Chain A
Amino acid sequence: MMILTTTLPAPLHYAVHSTWLTLRNFAFVLFAVGMPLVLYIVFSQTFAAGSGPDAQLASAMIMVSMAGYGALGAAMSGGAQLAMERRSGWFRQLSVTTLVPRDFLLAKAAVIMVLVLPSLLLVFGAGFLIGGVRMPLEVWLTSLVLMWLALIPMAILGIALGLWVKAEAVGGVTTLVLLVLAMLGGLWLPVEMMPPAAQTLAHALPSYWLAELGRWPMLPQMAFPWTGVAVLIGWSVGLTVLGALGFRRAAASSKR
């Protein structure tokens, strides 16, 4: 029998093992990776069929939206996992190790940042292989890196939800948040097709800027969305405060 023991620092050791266990989880792979992949293929074949530059651009736009949607789902499922672990008492069990609770949450956030990668990479891969998207390598890479960075507030959102929402409700709440962010942020339908009020709202959502940052390298005439960077930083700060409050509350009531 092979026994894998590592000498990594505790938070890193936790992050590595936790990531591996989640990637092995069938439900996670199905919903956070499989579903956006299938949706991308269906949408791109339906709305962006053909081989002209217009079709190719449309296919690329759908690719960014679906990759973002999948990554958002992965971030939410990370939060749901935290709520379940709090409820089952696994959080407490981890608290009687060298892993301090703050590092545990940082490790959890790091895990989420890794778990969003498969949906980004696979949907982008499908864009190339099935959707017929052809772009210079640096455009692919810039788009991926920008989207990955734009997911930081969504990872923090997952953690904050996991700290505030009860395990019984967390599945429903994270699904709702995912759908609202995806729909109002224009991941399902372009924001331009929405009424003006909804468009204003979209510009305040992290999910909208997630897709905008992903599209920016593909659209040469588009200015870099600095507003989006500011909105994303704002969400990150706000959600970190919310998460910290949730953590204090959880610790004080011993409901870790």
Chain B
Amino acid sequence: MVHLTSSIATSLRPSPAGAAIELTGLRKSFGLVRAVDGLDLSIAPGEIVAVLGPNGAGKSTTTELITGLVQPDAGSAQVFGLPPRTAIERGLVGVMLQAGALLHEATVRDVLRLMHGLHAHPLPLEEVIERADLRSFWKTRTEKLSGGQAQRLRYALALMSDPQLLILDEPTVGMDVEIRRAFWASMRDFIADGRTVVFATHYLDEADAEADRIVVLARGRVIADGTPAAIKTRVADRTITLADHGASLADLAALPAVISAERAGSRLLLRTTDSDTTLRGLISEHPAAAEIEVVSASLEDAFLTLTHDQPEEL
């Protein structure tokens, strides 16, 4: 039987001072592409932060800069007041890379044993296995794992260093609903003693449920930063479309909860934070409104409104 108490090493280590992550004027380009373009961000120890943003917003590059996998062109990244590489070597950081590779031609057990010896003060292997729930596929070769199993192994690799800061790049991709729930339950248990978590995700509901702070990235910089409740009032979660009955866009944009209104071909398109309220207003003020449809906004759609507030830079 394994007791899931945090290892002794955690309490013996001097507690890291200052911000868990401090990014200042961070810039990184790949060729002509500005992946990260003047990013400022400070994350305090113990925070659980979701990083949201459309594809190409710079989420993965930011993860790589925080973990020292790539060097910034300008600005600085510090982790617990240390350069990223030093923080990694001291075992302060655990990382779950997006689609992070697993060693081929090896079993889950081989991979864990190999990685276990490469950390400064690793968690006991038994505890890692228990927390990531790997027991049932312990002897399976990595290329035969399902998407969800592979993610659990990547999660195990992130826990291995007994980190104070966990960085998870889209951790629940490939997991079904049940496993996703179990994953977050395990995560909450692991961080209960005040560890810091930063996770990138595509799912707004996941960010809302698991994070106490949401940071929205677009074009390599922070465009919104606040509590999930505050962020949700600024992003559209529904899109209402209707046949174009000739109303002015300004009138439509003035309807309750509407963020933006536009013409798209023969239809009008309203982005709203609360479709019920908008619909009531629409029907009472625009009796001619017809062929009304309400669809959930995709995350990309939702952030369009936020990203539109930003002046386009060339």
Known: A96-B67, A96-B88, A254-B69. A6 touches B117 (CB 8 A): yes
Residues of B within 8 Å of A92, CB to CB, are: 69, 97, 100-101
Considering only residues 214-256 of chain A, those with a C-beta below 8 Å from chain B are 253-254, 256
Residues of B within 8 Å of A254, CB to CB, are: 30, 64, 69-70
Question: In the complex, are the beta carbons of A88 and B101 less than 8 A apart?
Answer: yes
In the complex, whether A134 has a CB less than 8 A from a CB of chain B is: no
Report the bound CA distance from A25 to B138 in whole Å: 19
Residues of A within 8 Å of B110, CB to CB, are: 17, 21
Question: In the complex, are the beta carbons of A93 and B157 less than 8 A apart?
Answer: yes
Q: Mark A74-93, 1 if CB is under 8 A from B, else 0.
A: 00000000001100111111
Closest Cβ neighbor of A84 among chain B residues: B104
Centre residue among B93, B101, B117 by max chain A CB count within 10 A: B117
Report the bound CA distance from A6 to B117 in whole Å: 6
Question: In the complex, are the beta carbons of A3 and B117 less than 8 A apart?
Answer: no
Closest Cβ neighbor of B84 among chain A residues: A96
Residues of A within 8 Å of B161, CB to CB, are: 97
In the complex, whether A14 has a CB less than 8 A from a CB of chain B is: yes
In the complex, whether B26 has a CB less than 8 A from a CB of chain A is: no
In the complex, whether A95 has a CB less than 8 A from a CB of chain B is: yes
Question: In the complex, are the beta carbons of A93 and B119 less than 8 A apart?
Answer: no
Report the bound CA distance from A85 to B118 in whole Å: 17
For the residues of B in contact with A, the DSSP-based class is loop
Question: In the complex, are the beta carbons of A97 and B126 less than 8 A apart?
Answer: no
Report the bound CA distance from A99 to B114 in whole Å: 12
Q: Mark A2-25, 1 if CB is under 8 A from B, else 0.
A: 011111101001100110010001
Report the bound CA distance from A95 to B115 in whole Å: 11
A4, A85, A93, A97: which contacts B113 (Cβ < 8 A)? A4
Question: In the complex, are the beta carbons of A14 and B101 less than 8 A apart?
Answer: no
Closest Cβ neighbor of A7 among chain B residues: B117
Report the bound CA distance from A85 to B103 in whole Å: 7
Question: In the complex, are the beta carbons of A96 and B69 less than 8 A apart?
Answer: yes
Report the bound CA distance from A238 to B12 in whole Å: 47
Closest Cβ neighbor of A94 among chain B residues: B118
In the complex, whether A46 has a CB less than 8 A from a CB of chain B is: no
Report the bound CA distance from A253 to B118 in whole Å: 24
Question: In the complex, are the beta carbons of A93 and B104 less than 8 A apart?
Answer: no
Question: In the complex, are the beta carbons of A25 and B116 less than 8 A apart?
Answer: no
Question: In the complex, are the beta carbons of A98 and B118 less than 8 A apart?
Answer: yes
Residues of B within 8 Å of A13, CB to CB, are: 114, 117-118
Report the bound CA distance from A99 to B104 in whole Å: 19
Residues of A within 8 Å of B125, CB to CB, are: 3, 5
Question: In the complex, are the beta carbons of B119 and A98 less than 8 A apart?
Answer: yes
A3, A4, A96, A98: which contacts B97 (Cβ < 8 A)? A96
Considering only residues 34-81 of chain B, those with a C-beta below 8 Å from chain A are 64, 67-70
Report the bound CA distance from A79 to B110 in whole Å: 21
Report the bound CA distance from A253 to B103 in whole Å: 22
In the complex, whether B102 has a CB less than 8 A from a CB of chain A is: yes
Question: In the complex, are the beta carbons of B101 and A97 less than 8 A apart?
Answer: no
Known: A5-B117, A8-B117. A93 touches B97 (CB 8 A): yes
Question: In the complex, are the beta carbons of A21 and B105 less than 8 A apart?
Answer: yes
Residues of B within 8 Å of A4, CB to CB, are: 113
Question: In the complex, are the beta carbons of B117 and A89 less than 8 A apart?
Answer: no
Q: Mark B107-146, 1 if CB is under 8 A from A, else 0.
A: 0001001111111100001100000000000100000000
Closest Cβ neighbor of B115 among chain A residues: A97
9 cross-chain pairs, A with B, having the tightest CB-CB distances, nearest first: A89-B101, A13-B117, A97-B118, A88-B101, A90-B101, A17-B114, A96-B95, A254-B70, A10-B118
4 new A-B contacts, CB < 8 A, other than A97-B115, A98-B118, A254-B30, are A3-B125, A14-B114, A14-B117, A21-B105
The interface of chain B, by Cβ under 8 A from chain A, is 30, 64, 67-70, 85, 88-89, 91, 93, 95, 97, 99-106, 110, 113-120, 125-126, 138, 157, 161
Task: Jot down 24 A-B pairs with beta carbons below 8 A, ordered by A.
Answer: A1-B138, A3-B126, A6-B117, A8-B117, A13-B117, A13-B118, A17-B113, A17-B117, A21-B114, A88-B104, A90-B103, A91-B101, A93-B97, A96-B67, A96-B69, A96-B97, A97-B115, A97-B161, A98-B91, A99-B118, A253-B30, A254-B30, A254-B64, A254-B70
